[in-house]
Structure 1
Amino acid sequence: MDVLALTGIGQLEYEKRPIPQPKQHEVLVKIKAAGICGSDIPRTFTTGAYHYPLVLGHEFSGVIEKVGGEVEPSIIGKKVAVFPLIPCNKCIFCAEKYYARCTNYSYFGSRQDGAFSEYVVVPEFNLIFLEDDADLTASAMIEPAAVSLHAIRNAHLDMNDNVVIYGAGPIGIMVARWAYLYGANKVLLIDIDQRKTDFCKSIGFKYVCNAKEEDPIKWVMNQTNDIGANVCIEGTGSSSGFNNALMSCAIMGKVIMLGNPHGDMTISRQVYDKFMRKEATIKGTFNSVYKKYPHDEWVEAARAIYEERLKVKDLISHKVPLEKLKDMFFTIKEGKEFTCKVLFVND
């Protein structure tokens, strides 16, 4: 089979490998669609991987082609998405079904080979079964949709809250759409890339700000009658985004830390002082909730996408075969053209 492997920082190479065989409690999934995550870009070009070679890709869907021992053969041919975190099922967090808190987990596309490949072996535990007529390209978006949903659920949104989101990439846009589904009043999107803000307007968002063109804090205050946003989602991973989120937060409001940091995060004394006096809350959010009653965010995200309550298809800006996926990494890194969500699609 063909794979696209990361062999060193900035080095992506196509390789031929044997098709892996599923063991007990595993299945072989034929990849149908897999997305490039924003975190894949620094992993490829800056921070590096845990080991080399590594096949990236943790947002994916496919079809079960083969099963290992102790797996019911009748699921062959079923469409699935895949929860990419493989828990140890031994630690106290796994015992409580907080799998994203697992102290000894593995991860497709990060700690072990992922989905930029024709096939991948997946534990049966990690399968999210889809409807027979599910769109597998849209279903490859379930992972970022679940992460976005987790951020909004961590915000404990109240009806008619105003929400501001710093960072208008695919995750930020999905957070915005979840916020409206959860009853938000105004959802404000902020970015420094004109192409992203133009795109957000083109898909129907009314309140969009380019922070390079106008002061985002003043803009948020103007949109919220000088109160600030009840919920601020920091999705940029930058000090400026974090400082702006703290400053545009309402008294007794909430700041949710969602973005992956690009370096040390610092705040000024003035920002610290003003935020402290608001008695507002800062909360981190990471990954998503899986197989836990009453809210399995993967099931909820899959259902919302299938029913098109959560729109994701319009976020897919590029669909490419595996042989063109390498080029897309460099296109994203160099900003050669506008991209929102890039999918490897295996037709």
Structure 2
Amino acid sequence: MSSTWNNKITFSIFGESHGQAIGVCMDNIPAGESLDLDEIYRFMARRAPKKDGLTTARSEKDIPQIMSGFYNGKTTGTPICAIIANTDHHSQDYSNISKLARPGHADYTGALRYRGFNDLRGGGHFSGRLTAPLCFAGAVAQQILRRRGIYIGAHIAQIHGIQDKSFDVINTSKDDIRELWDKDFPVIIDVQGNEMKKEIQKARQAGDSVGGVIEAIAINVPAGIGSPMFDGLENSIAQLIFGIPAVKGLEFGAGFASAELTGSENNDEFYVNDNGHVVTKTNNHGGILGGISSGMPITLRVAVKPTPSISKPQETVDYSAMKNETLEIKGRHDPCIVPRAVPAVEAALNIAILNHMLDYPNF
């Protein structure tokens, strides 16, 4: 099973949802970078379940134990390995469905790929639980980028048709981003967030789930990082974003809406601003041209499907006996995983941008 991302930065994510632990090993992180562990814990706490009725009742503290690559408060330049213990798993919830293909899950495809030897408990290695080590890696990258003035943030743009205000794709500030970091339910307009919460609760009470959209932005990324064709910024970001379970769509800048525009409407005209920098009047290109950063904010939107684990009866198959069955899923599941996926999207974007920044002169 390949859960390794090979680029200038290399990292591997390991473990299963109900195994003893999950973790990540990162290589090629620059030496001598200070890491504030409390800030890492705060970043990861944003992904962890909350006792608010909007997330799973599974309670994991997600405190990473750094095994290597970090000494006296700084990175050493050798691989950084972190382990996160699994302490609150109910494997018995899966004993009666071990050969039933849960709709929307990777049970059937995983069984085919790994000849039935994959760990099915809690989704095993396919579980959203594996976004915890991704968030650790992203939190490390975040601190390195912030010292270079680069800030990355995300918010819940939409839950089941209820929409938040969009980022200002020209003038979003680091204070705007920091404000979202501090919110338990990261939206720009809190009133809209309250309506989203009601929609999530309604789905939970009906034994169902809802999906949504996450919008992310990276500001102060210098112009000129990335490459054309197959090693572009979009390519790297997309690989990492699609490593997040439940992600089903991704668009940069104006995205699919640009298909409805004319060239004169979609093109972003250049000019030299008062600070002597080349910028664009609009930002339909989402801060990336030809796979390379333009210096404008990098913007993207991520579509997240509804949580596939729902308590409503569903038709499926027993793929060992090759017969039709009816499935009723028990256990503890999120009625909407979008709020917890927000820091995972930020983490992926942090890693991708740091990866390309390593090529930047005098990094």
For the aligned pair, the TM-score class normalised by the smaller chain equals: under 0.3
Q: TM-score, normalised by structure 1?
A: 0.24
Structure scoring higher RCO (CA < 8 A, sep ≥ 6) equals 2
Q: TM-score, normalised by structure 2?
A: 0.23
